Amino acid sequence: MKQYVVDAFAPRPFTGNPAAVCVMDAWPTEKSMMLLARENNLSETAFIVGGNGRYHLRWFTPGCEVELCGHATLASAYTVMEQIEPGLDEVRFDTLGGELVIRRDGDAFLMDLPTYELREIPVTHEMTTAFGARPSRAVLGLDLICVFDDEETVRAMRPDQTLLMTIPGRIQNATARGTDVDCVSRSFCSKLAIPEDPVCGSAHCQIADFWCRELGKSEVLAYQASERGGYLRCRPLGEGRVEIGGEASLVAVSEIVAPLP
């Protein structure tokens, strides 16, 4: 089995969000995929099976399988269009989250992803304690989005990972309006065994939707203010879909030689 390590939302290696992409002729067991995800110890390991521009795609964190992952989808699309079928301009993935279409746009790749209905919920003492700062607003979709008045609050926060697990949402996001970009965010994923996702595409399916409505814009440029950092071009498409784009960089190609259970 060949494995690629790709930095997503990264114009150069060692920035953005790293994902492993395992290219296979047939599916191994779920136990094998889980063991590889834990061995890689990246926020996501993607597994793809297929060809001729259409693949089945599954994503595993070190803790579980997930129904949607943006950065590992971008990494998988890069792997297909640059390494497996070079010159291809579009790839389709069948996933737990439905069909995903990714197309090339110059040096970037644009993903057509599902978004989630958002509803405003009360800001609670538990949110304030978990993040170490009081949000001005809280919005819940699949993930929790806590909005802060100052981007420096988001950049500097050191949340309590244990307390984050007690508040709503699959992922707990902190976001604020940006100075040099439209919005700045961070994504904490304690419930998925990931303290902080370097650049989270699936979270931005919701963060971008929120900020486009809040700012009255048809698209936003978002910055994930993690240690590695990364930029995302985000454009709601309507009817529950959002386009998220970014570049990717290849870091390593390896062969999995250990026998899989």
Catalytically active residues, by annotation: 44
CA 18/CA 25 separation, integer angstroms? 23
Among residues 111, 155, 114, 115, the alpha carbon closest in space to that of 247 is found at 111
N- to C-terminal Cα distance for the chain? 14
Calculate helix-pair angle for 70-78, 201-215, nearest 10 degrees: 110
Tokens of 182: 């439209």
> Which residues lie closer than 8 Å to 238 by C-beta, 6 or more apart?
none
Element (H, E) at 130: helix 125-131
